[in-house]
């Protein structure tokens, strides 16, 4: 919504939840925005999504926001088969890291041609401080952050700003079960006294796509209610 308000044509990616994507599309309230279907859990998913986005949105993408994610436990001290642990880690690396990195590789040349662009990774506090029982998730988010730093150094001269946003707990479908189960303990660990809303993250992203953020490229911005400070 923030991007639409700023005047961008928006492509809304979805995999299985078309209804939620359609609801977001209705909020945008203009006909030029589009839905883009792709399964980022498979190797060819990013290429399919990039091709659809370029086709539907005029041949060049100026802003890429990678916010698809999966959040799976990968405990080390419980009875778990190695192949199951590997499958969980690989699934998270595929969606949380590889798909977004591949989209950046596919879309950055068009941004460079236009001498302006934004690549924004929605990472996580877990990628900075780690998270017990979720080492695979934390590793995938740390990879996003490191990748963004390298991209920023490589692409700054082409006018492309690259940022990681590292939220703590956010009230989303992905975290709903954990918040419902452990909400009191989660909120107790956040000095601000609440989990973030999607709007908290969107407001920051809305700023990062403006020229005012040009010189911030390469940074990881924490959004966690003071639950993790560095």
Please identify every residue annotated as catalytic. Answer: 137
Q: What is the rounded distance in angstroms from the CA atom of residue 82 to the CA atom of residue 98?
A: 22
CA-nearest of 53, 27, 28 to 40 is 53
Q: What is the pLDDT of residues 134-175, one digit of tens each?
A: 999 999 999 999 999 999 999 999 999 999 999 999 999 889
Question: Is residue 2 scored above 90 in pLDDT?
Answer: no
Residue 73 lies in a domain: yes
Residue 172 lies in a domain: yes
Q: Which residue has the tokens 């959004």?
A: 223
**Residue 161: helix, strand or coil by DSSP?**
strand
Question: Is residue 1 scored above 90 in pLDDT?
Answer: no
Please enumerate in sequence order all residues whose Cβ is within 8 A of that of 163, keeping only pairs 6 or more positions apart, or say none: 118, 119, 120, 121, 148, 152, 208, 213, 216, 217, 218, 219, 220, 221
Q: Which residue has the tokens 């086709």?
A: 55
Q: In the structure, what pLDDT confidence band is assigned to residue 31 with cuts at 50, 70 and 90? A: confident
What is the reported pLDDT for 118? 99
Residue 209 lies in a domain: yes
Question: Is residue 29 scored above 80 in pLDDT?
Answer: no
Residue 127 lies in a domain: yes
Q: In the structure, what pLDDT confidence band is assigned to residue 34 with cuts at 50, 70 and 90? A: very high
Q: What is the pLDDT of residues 170-206, one digit of tens each?
A: 999 889 999 999 999 999 999 999 999 999 999 999 9
Structural domain boundaries, residue 140: 61-223
Q: What is the pLDDT of residues 85-96, one digit of tens each?
A: 999 999 999 999
Q: Which residue has the tokens 């961008």?
A: 8
Residue 197 lies in a domain: yes
What is the reported pLDDT for 89? 98
Give how far the C-alpha of residue 111 lies from the chain's centroid of Cα atoms, to the nearest Å.
19
Q: What is the rounded distance in angstroms from the CA atom of residue 98 to the CA atom of residue 144?
A: 9
What is the reported pLDDT for 42? 98
What is the reported pLDDT for 197? 97
Residue 5 lies in a domain: no
What is the reported pLDDT for 51? 99
In CATH, what number is assigned to the domain containing residue 175?
Answer: 3.40.50.720
Residue 86 lies in a domain: yes
Distances (CA, A) of 220 to 54, 88, 117, 120: 27, 26, 17, 10
What is the reported pLDDT for 220? 99
Distances (CA, A) of 55 to 11, 178, 185: 11, 38, 46
Q: What is the pLDDT of residues 44-63, one digit of tens each?
A: 999 999 999 999 999 999 99
Sheet order of strands, 220-223 included: 63-66, 117-122, 160-167, 220-223
Average pLDDT over the chain, rounded to an integer: 96
If one counts the domains in the chain, the total is 1
Q: In the structure, what pLDDT confidence band is assigned to residue 101 with cuts at 50, 70 and 90? A: very high
């Amino acid at each position: 919504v923030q991007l639409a308000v700023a005047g961008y044509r928006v492509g809304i990616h979805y995999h299985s939840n078309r209804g939620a994507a359609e609801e977001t599309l209705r909020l945008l309230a203009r006909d030029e925005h589009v839905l883009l279907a792709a399964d980022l859990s498979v190797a060819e998913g990013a290429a399919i999504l990039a091709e659809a986005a370029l086709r539907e949105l005029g041949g060049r993408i100026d802003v890429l926001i990678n916010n698809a994610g999966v959040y799976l436990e990968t405990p080390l001290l419980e009875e778990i088969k190695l192949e199951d642990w590997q499958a969980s880690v690989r699934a998270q690396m595929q969606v949380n890291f590889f798909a977004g990195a591949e989209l950046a590789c596919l879309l950055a040349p068009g941004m460079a041609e236009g001498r302006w662009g934004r690549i924004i990774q929605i990472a996580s506090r877990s990628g900075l401080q780690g998270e017990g029982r979720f080492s695979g998730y934390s590793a995938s988010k740390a990879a996003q952050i490191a990748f963004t730093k390298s991209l920023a150094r490589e692409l700054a001269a082409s006018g492309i700003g690259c940022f990681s946003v590292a939220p703590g707990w956010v009230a989303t479908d992905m975290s709903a079960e954990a918040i419902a189960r452990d909400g009191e303990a989660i909120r107790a660990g956040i000095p601000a006294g609440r989990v973030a809303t999607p709007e908290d993250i969107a407001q920051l992203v809305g700023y990062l796509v403006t020229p005012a953020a040009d010189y911030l490229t390469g940074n990881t911005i924490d959004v966690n209610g003071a639950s993790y400070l560095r």
